[in-house]
A and B are shown apart, each in its own frame.
Chain A
Amino acid sequence: MPFIDKILVSRSLSIVGMEKNTGKTECLNYVIYRLKEKEKIIGLTSIGIDGESVDQVTETPKPEIEIYPGTIFITSEKHYKQKQLTAEILDITQKSTALGRLITARAKDFGKVICSGPSQTVWLKEIIDKTRDMGVDLFLVDGALSRKSSASPSITESMILTTGAAVAPGIDDIVKKTAFLVKLINIESFDTEHHEILMGKEKGLYIITKDNELIDTCIESGLFADKISPEFINKASAIFLSGILTDRFIELIRVQNTKKKIVILVKDFTKIFISKEKYYGFLRSGGEIRVLLKPNLIAICINPLSPFGYKLDSNLLADKLHDEIKLPIYDIKKI
């Protein structure tokens, strides 16, 4: 069966949807179902609320997450009480989310759970690390409500992207939007000896000079980019942004730096919030965007069913996406 073998080599996986109702949970259930055959102990949580029986935004029914004995899941107090299986409580956090403290439990039989995990990625990382000691082979993260942050390669090793009718009304638009995101996900990583130092930076704007020297510009973030002096830009072979990359920043660098080749460097694709137009505009001007960590995009899954009731031609969508992206595309309902 497709892509399960690829999942098995990584130790953590996040499933991220381009929008709600792109079949994320379906996809997750498929992955869990397949992993069961492989007799792997899996860990499971989501970032933010997920796994509700009814979608919180569009009120359409949603499939629940079905797990098997041995699975370690992390959910809030509120949703733990709604579980439909026997489970052994292993740990309870002292910190609390809006839905109560987080409970780590081990499933004792088959059944359905609602996952509502930590609200921040840092906390999620802590939880993933902690479950390692409990014997988890593979940790699955259900990324909620178009949140891509959990797919950051600093949190999970690999990712699955789901897309579908919920993204845009027409197939061509869906393909365009998905292809652009995949383009960003697959941005090549940048080799630098300053890798470790830059990964540890929580804020600030740094410059790597042509002589490979790292300079702190003392500017807090890309929001204050207009304070950056042209002198710095002239010196730079790469500009590193610890925070997010926006249209405004990219435009500013493009205007300042007319002729030379320059690299804008961010931690990973989850930090990139730019439009397609600005992105290609920047590339044409000789610039380049690179990341420190590139995620391992395992598969793209599609859901041809729209939350508004209509259904697109699954094969056509898959083919068009494949032409554009050159990656295997799966309709979970069909495999």
Chain B
Amino acid sequence: MKTFRNYIAEHVGVKFIYDNMNICSAPGRKELLNSKFIVAPNQIEDELELLDELFIKYTSLSEITKTNILHLLSQVYDVSLIIKNIQSGFTVDDIQLFEVKKFSVLIQKLKEILCEINYTSLEFSDLSIVINILDPDNTGLMTFYIYDSYDSKLAKLRKERISTNNQNKKDELYIEILKLEDQIRTKLCKELRHYCKDLEINLRNVAKFDVLLAKTQLIEKFNLCRPEIVENRINYCGLFNPFIADILSKKGKKFQAVDIGIDQKPCLITGANMSGKTVLLKTLAVAQIMFQFAFYVPAQKAEIMPVEEIIMSLGDNQDELTGLSSFAAEMLNVDKIIKAAKKGKKILGLVDELARTTNPDEGKAIVNAFVYLMEKYNSSCVVTTHYSGIITRSKRYKVKGLKTDEIKNQEVNSTNINDYIDYLLVEIDENFVPNDALNIIEMLGVEKELVFSARDFISRKL
């Protein structure tokens, strides 16, 4: 099963989400990156519930408490290897013992804060005994060395070493001190071995808490919504793409959110060029990925079914590197979708302009056949196309496209054309393919002779 790390590498949109997450600790980062794509609905529900609880708590916290929690988390070091070493009977050194002590003190402090704010969803076990073992003088400080109080003989030797002026004697004493320190370390590790389980539980919980907190902050940052888990459909109200919305907002523009519903059937989307079809597919992918890693999703309202796999064909595969033509690469992705569908796997297929790189006659046939198969195997698959004459009983959408009323008397060119496109999705009954391509290339300022000549060909029906 793919991990979050895999999706970051594959999707810029997911990477953008990750880059915007305020993960404080190394264990938290590890937890998130290695977390697995969740398929089981009840597991997503459980995770989302944890997130709901924390979100409600978090929004009511004072800024000071928030900062305190984040500050504590940022100091947590990944002690998993040290715990493992202690557990398997190794004696660890002062540096590692210091880490264990610091970790335990931090967890104890975090536990106190969480107790104060009445947060009980994650249970941290008590580490006061571990702290007692590593803080025999009860200083309450986050520092460590082999304290004199561990052994009266040690204290005596150390005093002797300080008071003597004879260098040889000093060196001899130092060796003796080292030996004794080693014995004490072994004893300490033996004592600590009983609490390794507690340390492990706390490490797991603190990592989890860090990730949940980062997810919580993301909800506020991007205005995400709590998805509702359903069995057989995907419905979004006001779906948006955080990555592109961010780019647009930097230019002072706004991302136009859309509504879309997908059943366990194919879903055909047509629309003029530049009408945001590819962005829509990428947005659907990012939202689905976020959902299956138990994030809130970028929409006003969402009902989502968990799928077993998201398979995409966006035509931006690195074809040259695999030695495949863009057509071949696309067909292999399509093959993956069909094979999964035939096996009865619950998938979300996202196919951008299927068969666009081949001749229109065969291309249209391929799209028709693909849509037919998706219908036959009840697979959720969103397909965008420019071809007319696709036969299907399933859902069809068109992107509204050019705002023809507004364009009149306006200077439209390649820099502002996006302002004159309505990205809204409209459900339609029959096949509709807009003929806006020539209008658009004219606005883009492409050589006029091409446009004239193309219009001439159309009028002569060539």
Chain B residue nearest to A100 (CB atoms) is B95
List A58-101 residues whose CB lies under 8 Å from chain B. Answer: 69, 77, 80-81, 84-92, 94
- Which residues from chain B contact A105 at a C-beta distance below 8 Å? 145
Task: From known contacts A89-B144, A90-B143, infer whether A109 and B158 are also in contact, taking CB-CB under 8 Å.
Answer: yes
Let me know if B95 and A89 touch, CB within 8 A. Answer: yes
Centre residue among A69, A77, A87, A108 by max chain B CB count within 10 A: A108
Let me know if A80 and B95 touch, CB within 8 A. Answer: yes
Let me know if A109 and B145 touch, CB within 8 A. Answer: no
List B53-93 residues whose CB lies under 8 Å from chain A. Answer: 77, 93
Distance from A87 Cβ to chain B, minimum over Cβ atoms (Å): 6
Let me know if B162 and A94 touch, CB within 8 A. Answer: no
Let me know if A103 and B145 touch, CB within 8 A. Answer: no
A110 at the interface (CB under 8 A from B): yes
Centre residue among A77, A85, A86, A90 by max chain B CB count within 10 A: A86
Let me know if B162 and A88 touch, CB within 8 A. Answer: no
- Which residues from chain B contact A90 at a C-beta distance below 8 Å? 143
Name the one of A85, A92, A111 contacting B98, with C-beta atoms under 8 angstroms: A92
Distance from B106 Cβ to chain A, minimum over Cβ atoms (Å): 13
B442 at the interface (CB under 8 A from A): no
Let me know if B174 and A84 touch, CB within 8 A. Answer: yes
Task: From known contacts A69-B162, A109-B162, A110-B162, infer whether A88 and B26 are also in contact, taking CB-CB under 8 Å.
Answer: no
B99 at the interface (CB under 8 A from A): yes
Task: From known contacts A92-B95, A103-B95, infer whether A108 and B143 are also in contact, taking CB-CB under 8 Å.
Answer: no
Centre residue among B26, B95, B170 by max chain A CB count within 10 A: B95
Let me know if B174 and A88 touch, CB within 8 A. Answer: no
Task: From known contacts A80-B95, A81-B93, infer whether A88 and B158 are also in contact, taking CB-CB under 8 Å.
Answer: no
Task: From known contacts A77-B95, A80-B95, A94-B77, infer whether A89 and B158 are also in contact, taking CB-CB under 8 Å.
Answer: no
Distance from A172 Cβ to chain B, minimum over Cβ atoms (Å): 41
Distance from B162 Cβ to chain A, minimum over Cβ atoms (Å): 5
Centre residue among A85, A88, A103, A111 by max chain B CB count within 10 A: A88
Chain A residue nearest to B75 (CB atoms) is A94
Centre residue among B26, B98, B158 by max chain A CB count within 10 A: B98
List A88-140 residues whose CB lies under 8 Å from chain B. Answer: 88-92, 94, 103, 105-106, 108-111
Let me know if B93 and A88 touch, CB within 8 A. Answer: no
Let me know if A86 and B158 touch, CB within 8 A. Answer: yes
Q: Mark B157-200, 1 if CB is under 8 A from A, else 0.
A: 01001100000001000100100000000000000000000000
Distance from A82 Cβ to chain B, minimum over Cβ atoms (Å): 12
Task: From known contacts A81-B93, A108-B158, A109-B161, infer whether A88 and B177 are also in contact, taking CB-CB under 8 Å.
Answer: no
Distance from B389 Cβ to chain A, minimum over Cβ atoms (Å): 58
- Which residues from chain B contact A84 at a C-beta distance below 8 Å? 174
Count of A interface residues, CB-CB < 8 Å: 21
A-B contact number at CB 8 A: 41
Let me know if B162 and A89 touch, CB within 8 A. Answer: no
- Which residues from chain A contact B161 at a C-beta distance below 8 Å? 109
- Which residues from chain B contact A69 at a C-beta distance below 8 Å? 162
Centre residue among B77, B102, B145, B170 by max chain A CB count within 10 A: B145
Cα distance A302–B158 when bound, in Å?
37
B94 at the interface (CB under 8 A from A): yes
- Which residues from chain B contact A77 at a C-beta distance below 8 Å? 95
Count of B interface residues, CB-CB < 8 Å: 18
Cα distance A108–B146 when bound, in Å?
11
Q: Mark A182-221, 1 if CB is under 8 A from B, else 0.
A: 0000000000000000000000000000000000000000
Name the one of B99, B102, B143 contacting A88, with C-beta atoms under 8 angstroms: B143
Distance from A33 Cβ to chain B, minimum over Cβ atoms (Å): 15
List A137-156 residues whose CB lies under 8 Å from chain B. Answer: none
Cα distance A89–B93 when bound, in Å?
11
Chain B residue nearest to A134 (CB atoms) is B143
- Which residues from chain A contact B102 at a C-beta distance below 8 Å? 92
Distance from B145 Cβ to chain A, minimum over Cβ atoms (Å): 4
Task: From known contacts A81-B93, A86-B158, A110-B162, infer whether A92 and B145 are also in contact, taking CB-CB under 8 Å.
Answer: no
Cα distance A105–B146 when bound, in Å?
13
Let me know if A108 and B145 touch, CB within 8 A. Answer: yes
Task: From known contacts A81-B93, A94-B77, A109-B161, infer whether A89 and B177 are also in contact, taking CB-CB under 8 Å.
Answer: no
Distance from B351 Cβ to chain A, minimum over Cβ atoms (Å): 44
Let me know if B26 and A89 touch, CB within 8 A. Answer: no
Let me know if B95 and A88 touch, CB within 8 A. Answer: no
Chain B residue nearest to A77 (CB atoms) is B95
- Which residues from chain A contact B174 at a C-beta distance below 8 Å? 84-85, 111
Distance from B226 Cβ to chain A, minimum over Cβ atoms (Å): 34
Cα distance A106–B143 when bound, in Å?
10
Let me know if A88 and B144 touch, CB within 8 A. Answer: yes
- Which residues from chain A contact B144 at a C-beta distance below 8 Å? 88-89
List B1-58 residues whose CB lies under 8 Å from chain A. Answer: 26
Cα distance A40–B99 when bound, in Å?
29
List B110-169 residues whose CB lies under 8 Å from chain A. Answer: 143-146, 158, 161-162
Cα distance A81–B93 when bound, in Å?
9
Chain A residue nearest to B181 (CB atoms) is A86
Distance from B210 Cβ to chain A, minimum over Cβ atoms (Å): 14
Cα distance A69–B161 when bound, in Å?
12
Let me know if A86 and B95 touch, CB within 8 A. Answer: no
Let me know if A92 and B99 touch, CB within 8 A. Answer: yes
- Which residues from chain A contact B177 at a C-beta distance below 8 Å? 86
Distance from B112 Cβ to chain A, minimum over Cβ atoms (Å): 22
Distance from A75 Cβ to chain B, minimum over Cβ atoms (Å): 11
Chain B residue nearest to A87 (CB atoms) is B145
- Which residues from chain B contact A94 at a C-beta distance below 8 Å? 26, 77
Let me know if B94 and A89 touch, CB within 8 A. Answer: yes
Chain A residue nearest to B102 (CB atoms) is A92
Distance from B184 Cβ to chain A, minimum over Cβ atoms (Å): 12
Centre residue among A89, A103, A109 by max chain B CB count within 10 A: A89
Interface contacts beyond A81-B95, A108-B158: sample of 16 additional A-B pairs, CB < 8 Å, sorted by A = A69-B162, A80-B95, A86-B145, A86-B146, A88-B143, A88-B144, A89-B94, A89-B95, A89-B144, A89-B145, A91-B143, A92-B77, A92-B98, A103-B95, A109-B158, A111-B174
Cross-chain pairs A/B with CB under 8 angstroms, 27 sampled: A80-B95, A81-B93, A85-B174, A86-B145, A86-B146, A86-B158, A87-B145, A88-B144, A88-B145, A89-B95, A89-B98, A89-B144, A89-B145, A91-B143, A92-B77, A92-B98, A92-B99, A92-B102, A94-B77, A103-B95, A105-B145, A106-B143, A108-B145, A109-B161, A110-B162, A110-B170, A111-B174
User: Closest 9 CB pairs between A and B?
Assistant: A88-B145, A89-B98, A90-B143, A109-B162, A89-B144, A88-B143, A89-B94, A89-B143, A109-B161
Binding site for B on A (CB under 8 A): 69, 77, 80-81, 84-92, 94, 103, 105-106, 108-111
